[in-house]
C-alpha cells in the first residue's frame, strides 16, 4: 500500500479513536449534566441538520489541492472543542454545552467526509473506499471497548468518569494532526492534468435529476438513514432506560455489535460479496426488515435487542458495492462535490430519523420500530432501483 495512503488511514484511525472514546458515553454525559432524553435527541437532530447545510457550504470552498489544509484546521478546532467540553462539565452551562456539541457534530462529519477525497487524490477505488470506513469503525469500536473498561476504574488516585474521555480525546486529536502534517499529496495532485470543466454544486444538482443511478442512490440513502437512526440514534439511552442495562453493560453490548459489524464487513469484501447485488441488498436490508416486523409483532426486550443488533452488525456490510461504486462513478473534482452532497443528504435524513426516534420513544418504543420499518421499505425499493439502473448503464 502507498505510504501516504497508509498515513491517511492512521489519521482516520486516530481521529476515530478520539471520537469513539468520548462519544461512547456522550449521551450519558449529557444526562449527567441535567439534559433530558428529548433534549439529547434534539441536540443530535439539530447537529445533523446544521451539518447537512454546512457540508453544502464546504462544497463551494473545497478543492482537491486544499483538502489537507482544511482537514488540519478542522482537527485542531475539534481538539479545542473537546477540551472546552471537558472544562465546562458540571457547570450547568446548557446553552454553551449544546452549542459546542452541535458544532463538534458538524466538524466531525466534515473530517470524515474529506478523508476519502484525500485518499482519492492518490488512488481511487471501491476497496479503498470501504477500507476508509472499516478503519474508522475498527478504531472507533476499540475506543469504545477501552472506555467501557476504564469507566469507574481508578488509576492510582484518579477515577475515570464520562468527562475523563474528553481530555484523552484532545491529546489523540493532536497526534492525528502531527501525522497528517507528514502526508504529502501535492506530488500526486500535480500529476493530474488541469481541467477546464467547471464543477459546482449547482451544476451537479442540475445533472442528478437526469441521472437515474445517482437519483435512485440518493433517495435510497435518504430513507436508509431515517430508518437507521430511528433505531440507533440514542442507543445508550434505549439500552439503559428502556431495556434496563447498566451503562457498562450497554457499552459492552453495543461494542459487541460493532465488532461483529467490522468482522462481517471485512469478510464480505474479501470472500462473501455476491455478484448478484440484489442478494447483497437482501442480506443487508431485507433480513433487517423481517427482524423489525418480528420485533413489532413479538414486542419484548429480546426482539428489540435483536432489531438493534442486526442494524449495527450489517451497518458496514457491502458498502463497497452498495455505496462505493456510486461515489466512484464521478471524476475527482466532481466526486468531492458529490460526496459532500451525499453526506448532506445523509445528515439531513439523520436529523429527521433522530427527531422521530426521540418523539416516538416518548410515546412507545414499538411505534419507533413501526416507523423505521415503513421507511426501510422505501430504502429497499430505491436501493434495488439504483442497482438496476447502474446495470443498465453498463
Q: Return left, alpha or beta for 235; rule: phi > 0 is left, psi -120 to 50 is alpha, else beta.
A: alpha
Digit-coded pLDDT (tens) for 78-103: 999 999 988 988 888 888 989 998 88
Report all structural domains of the chain as residue ranges with CATH numbers, in order of start: 3-393 (1.20.1250.20)
Closest CA to 213 of 331, 323, 52: 323
Phi and psi torsions of 181, nearest 5°: -65, -20
User: Cell for 206?
Assistant: 442540475
48, 348 Cβ separation under 8 angstroms: yes
**pLDDT tens across the length of the chain (394 residues):** 688 888 989 999 999 999 988 888 888 888 888 888 778 888 888 887 887 777 777 666 667 677 888 899 999 999 999 999 889 888 888 889 899 988 888 888 888 878 877 887 777 776 777 778 778 888 988 888 888 888 888 888 888 888 888 889 999 999 999 999 988 877 776 555 555 455 566 777 777 788 888 899 899 989 999 999 888 887 888 888 888 888 778 878 888 888 888 788 778 777 777 788 888 889 989 999 999 999 999 888 889 999 999 998 888 777 656 666 777 777 666 777 787 788 788 888 888 888 888 888 888 889 999 999 999 999 999 999 988 988 887 6
378, 62 Cβ separation under 8 angstroms: no
What pLDDT score does 297 carry? 92
3-state secondary structure 58-107: HHHHCCHHHHHHHHHHHHHHHHHHHHHHHHHCCCCCHHHHHHHHHHHHHH
What pLDDT score does 22 carry? 86
What pLDDT score does 193 carry? 53
What pLDDT score does 293 carry? 95
**Can you tell me the distance from the alpha carbon of 176 to that of 17, in angstroms, rounded to the nearest whole number?**
10
Amino acid at each position: 500500500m502507498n505510504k501516504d495512503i497508509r498515513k491517511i488511514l492512521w489519521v482516520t484511525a486516530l481521529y476515530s479513536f478520539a471520537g469513539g472514546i468520548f462519544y461512547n458515553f456522550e449521551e450519558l454525559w449529557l444526562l449527567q449534566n441535567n439534559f433530558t432524553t428529548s433534549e439529547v435527541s434534539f441536540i443530535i437532530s439539530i447537529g445533523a441538520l446544521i451539518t447537512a447545510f454546512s457540508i453544502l457550504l464546504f462544497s463551494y470552498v473545497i478543492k482537491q489541492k486544499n483538502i489537507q489544509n482544511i482537514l488540519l484546521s478542522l482537527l485542531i478546532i475539534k481538539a479545542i472543542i473537546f477540551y472546552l467540553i471537558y472544562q465546562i462539565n458540571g457547570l450547568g452551562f446548557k446553552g454553551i454545552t449544546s452549542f459546542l456539541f452541535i458544532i463538534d457534530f458538524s466538524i466531525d462529519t466534515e473530517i470524515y467526509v474529506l478523508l476519502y477525497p484525500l485518499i482519492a487524490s492518490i488512488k481511487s477505488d471501491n476497496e479503498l473506499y470501504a477500507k476508509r470506513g472499516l478503519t474508522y469503525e475498527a478504531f472507533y469500536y476499540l475506543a469504545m471497548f477501552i472506555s467501557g473498561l476504564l469507566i469507574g476504574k481508578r488509576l492510582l488516585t484518579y477515577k475515570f468518569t464520562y468527562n475523563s474521555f474528553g481530555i484523552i480525546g484532545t491529546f489523540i486529536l493532536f497526534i492525528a494532526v502531527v501525522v497528517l502534517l507528514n502526508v504529502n499529496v501535492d506530488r500526486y495532485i500535480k500529476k493530474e492534468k488541469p481541467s477546464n470543466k467547471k464543477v459546482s454544486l449547482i451544476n451537479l444538482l442540475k445533472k442528478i435529476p437526469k441521472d437515474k443511478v445517482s437519483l435512485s442512490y440518493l433517495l435510497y440513502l435518504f430513507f436508509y438513514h431515517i430508518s437507521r437512526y430511528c433505531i440507533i440514534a440514542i442507543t445508550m439511552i434505549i439500552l439503559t432506560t428502556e431495556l434496563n442495562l447498566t451503562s457498562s453493560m450497554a457499552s459492552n453490548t453495543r461494542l459487541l455489535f460493532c465488532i461483529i459489524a467490522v468482522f462481517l464487513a471485512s469478510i464480505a469484501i474479501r470472500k462473501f460479496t455476491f455478484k448478484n447485488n440484489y442478494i447483497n441488498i437482501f442480506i443487508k436490508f431485507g433480513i433487517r426488515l423481517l427482524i423489525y416486523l418480528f420485533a413489532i409483532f413479538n414486542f419484548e426486550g429480546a426482539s428489540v435487542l435483536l432489531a438493534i443488533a442486526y442494524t449495527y452488525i450489517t451497518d458496514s456490510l457491502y458498502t463497497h458495492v452498495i455505496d462505493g461504486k456510486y461515489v466512484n462513478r464521478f471524476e475527482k473534482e466532481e466526486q468531492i462535490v458529490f460526496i459532500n452532497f451525499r453526506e448532506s443528504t445523509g445528515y439531513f435524513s439523520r436529523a429527521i430519523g433522530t427527531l422521530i426516534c426521540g418523539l416516538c420513544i416518548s410515546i412507545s418504543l414499538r411505534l419507533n420500530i413501526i416507523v423505521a420499518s415503513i421507511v426501510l421499505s422505501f430504502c429497499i425499493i430505491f436501493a434495488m432501483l439504483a442497482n438496476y439502473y447502474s446495470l443498465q448503464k453498463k
